[in-house]
A and B are shown apart, each in its own frame.
Chain A
Amino acid sequence: MIKANLQLSKSDFKLEASFSVPGRGVTAVFGPSGCGKTTLLRAIAGLEPEVTGSLSVNTEQWLGANTRRPVEERRVGVVFQNPSLFPHLTVEENLLYGRKRLSKVTKPIELNKLIASLEIENLLRRYPEGLSGGEKQRVALGRALLAEPKLLLMDEPLSALDLSSREKLMLLLEKFLQEIDIPVFYVTHSSEEVARLADNLVLLANGLVTDHGSIADVLGEVDGELSRSDTAFSVIEGQIATTQLPGLISVDCGAGIVLQLPDSTSMPGIRYQPGSDVRLRIRARDVSLCLEKPQRSSILNILPAVIAQLAAEPYNGSRVVKLDMAGKQLLSKISEYSVQQLGLKKGQSVFAQIKSAALI
């Protein structure tokens, strides 16, 4: 477990972060810009000297009433928003900076294997100056991992990159972060990144943790901050189906649920091999409800569902409805007017029309 109860007061900002998440997997720290995500990450790393409270990472106490472990003894790997390679060292020297300082190398991370999977083998003798943003971030990630961190912190590592290197690094992270056996905190304001990477979620607003837990639990809270916001979304996992319709990608989500998406892929063949695991992000505002199955609709995905829960009260004229589709959870955000008109109630059978879903 990673348990945190951190307080920090700055002149114009207050952080009050209390949460606990499993000590493995990827925990996304999600919230709008300026809500204190980076400050929270810095506090966990030990880079904010004025922070008080307690912090324990698995078996180790990093901060407590009488303990304050200095940064260099926390063994925390950080990938900062802006690439932060040492300009006076080559890529290889950068990679080994932290590893050289380990008292002993316990996990024999294979250097060559890591370098190969980060696709930086051709850069080793170069200096950071001439590298692209994506290359720098991959080197920074490798450098952090080679120091055998007990916790890996990533602060919007994609935000300083252009679109294509962002997508490339994202694909790498998806594979990578699941493989390494190190808990990861991943700060982002992008719901796509959350949906693609996160197992757990810590929601932050105005310096306050508003919710935390597994991604399904947090996303499924119809009265939570996230559900009320415009970015409310659900994540459904599935596999690329073996039979495809022309111009469409079919995703088999199990239990007879097959979702169809327009094939707008820019990189065919990379991720859409039949049978490969994918996640779908479906925005709550893209899901509408019908009492009867519509005929001859342009909407591709119309699926039977049962209303599992309605938000206790409407918010800004809309209400979030949690649906159960054969065990899969789906959020829908519809107007309060429609809720009253259709007389929607818990336990009712409806048809969910999914206007669009993003394969992520």
Chain B
Amino acid sequence: MLSQPDIAALLITLKLAGTTTIILLLLGTPLAWWLATTRSRVRNAIEAVIALPLVLPPTVLGFYLLLAFSPDGPIGATTSALGLPSMAFSFWGLVLGSAIYSLPFVVQPLQNSFTSLGRMPLEVAATLGAGPLDRFISVVLPLSKMGYLTAAVLGFAHTLGEFGVVLMIGGNIPGETQVLSIAIYDHVEALEYSQAHWLAAGLLLSSFLVLLMIYSANRRFHLMKIT
């Protein structure tokens, strides 16, 4: 069954994915809203930047983050000037890396959801006396439930499976930065196939269940369009 370090890796992975998802939902909401409503010309450039993690090898992202975390890098210099510990090989370094890595998986579903709402429900709410924030809370959020569910699940699941970025900036410290995917790799390296199986099959099954949940919920919500 699972060994002590495996359980630690599982907990760290869940904590990492959960923290990253919450941060991404908070930051992704205004970003996706801006992308869905702006007519600015820089929108295309911003969209391309957000989509970069979809195509870049995670090691590229990890490499540059590692450079940025170094004492001479912009992030490392800032943290040391503020008297904070270095982010390299730390949990919060992983959170930052994961947030960048999973950003498109959260922003894109939110943006699609906001775009498909159209301006109609917002205009109706405005004529009925609702100010901008009120409109967002009373109309946009409830009508974007499906978008938020998709964004949260994809962001969480994608962070669960991350490997390359963590390998570059995490340092594989058991109990601190060792996540599931790396634990599996270590087991395979050490020819401990049965332990690798427990983790790998568990990850496979839980990912499948999560996606199954999204797709069935998606079908159920599908009819709920503005009428």
* A330→B74 CA distance, assembly (Å): 83
Identify the closest chain A residue to B141 (Cβ).
A88
Residues of A within 8 Å of B131, CB to CB, are 70, 72
Assembly CA distance A101 to B138 (angstroms): 12
Per the bound structure, the CA–CA distance linking A20 and B5 in Å amounts to: 79
6 new A-B contacts at CB < 8 Å, known A82-B120, A144-B127: A46-B126, A74-B127, A86-B226, A88-B143, A143-B128, A147-B128
Which of B126, B143, B225 has the most A CB atoms < 10 Å from its CB? B126
> A101–B126 contact, CB under 8 A?
no
Contact with B along A56-83 (1 / 0, CB 8 A): 0000000000000011111111101011
B120 pairs with A84, CB closer than 8 A: yes
**Once bound together, how far apart are the Cα atoms of A143 and B125, in whole Å?**
11
Q: With contacts defined as CB atoms under 8 Å apart, how many contacts are there between chain A and chain B in the complex?
A: 71
A19 interface hit (Cβ, 8 Å): no
Query: B128 — which chain A residues lie within 8 A by C-beta?
Result: 72, 77, 97-98, 101, 143-144, 147
Interface string of B94-136 (1 = CB under 8 A from A): 0000000000000000000000000011011111111100100
How far apart sit A84 and B121, CA to CA, in the bound complex (Å)? 7
Asked if B26 is at the interface (CB within 8 A of a chain A CB), the reply is no
SS of B interface (majority): helix
Interface size class of A (residues with CB under 8 A): 20 to 34
Cα-based distance from A274 to B125 in the complex (angstroms): 44
Chain B, interface residues (CB within 8 Å), range: 20 to 34
Interface hits, B193-227 → A, CB 8 Å: 223-227
Query: With the chains together, A47 CA to B224 CA distance in Å?
Result: 25
Within 8 Å by CB of B129, from A45, A80, A102, lies: A102
Instruction: Give chain A residues whose Cβ lies under 8 Å from the Cβ of B134.
Output: 101
Interface presence of A128 (CB below 8 A) = yes
Say yes or no: B127 contacts A77, CB within 8 Å: yes
Give the docked Cα–Cα distance between A46 and B124 (Å): 12
The distance from the CB of B131 to the nearest CB of chain A, in whole angstroms, is 5
Query: Using an 8 Å CB-CB cutoff, how does the interface string of B59-86 with A read, 1 for contact, 0 for none?
Result: 0000000000000000000000000000
Given A101-B130, A101-B134, verify A84-B224 contact (CB < 8 Å).
Answer: no
Does A256 count as interface, using CB distance less than 8 angstroms?
no
Closest to B127 in A: A78
A72 and B126 contacting across the interface, CB-CB below 8 Å? yes
24 interchain pairs, CB-CB under 8 A: A47-B123, A47-B126, A70-B126, A73-B129, A76-B127, A78-B124, A80-B120, A80-B124, A83-B227, A84-B121, A84-B226, A86-B124, A86-B139, A86-B143, A86-B226, A87-B227, A101-B130, A129-B223, A129-B224, A129-B227, A136-B227, A144-B127, A144-B128, A147-B129
